[in-house]
Amino acid sequence: MLALEDRFGASFPETLVNRRTFRSIAALLDAPSGLVRERSEP
């Protein structure tokens, strides 16, 4: 996780630091997508 944060200049919020986020590559790729959707909603 720390390597991903360093590599992409982002940080995982505490709510995403759990087994569900890291259970598969697909889940890991989907986690930031969910953050982007949340920020773009009014």
Q: Which residue has the higher pLDDT, 32 or 39?
A: 32
pLDDT band at 39; cut points 50, 70, 90:
low
Most confident of 5-9, 22-26, 32-36: 22-26
* pTM to 2 decimal places: 0.54
pLDDT band at 29; cut points 50, 70, 90:
confident
d(CA 1, CA 17): 9
Most confident of 8-12, 23-27, 30-34: 23-27
Q: How many C-alpha atoms does 33 have within 13 Å on its Cβ side?
A: 6
**What is the three-class DSSP state of 1?**
coil
Write the DSSP assignment of 4-34 as a string of letters: HHHHHT----GGG-STTTTSSHHHHHHHHHH
What is the biggest distance separating any 2 CA atoms in the chain, rounded to whole angstroms? 32
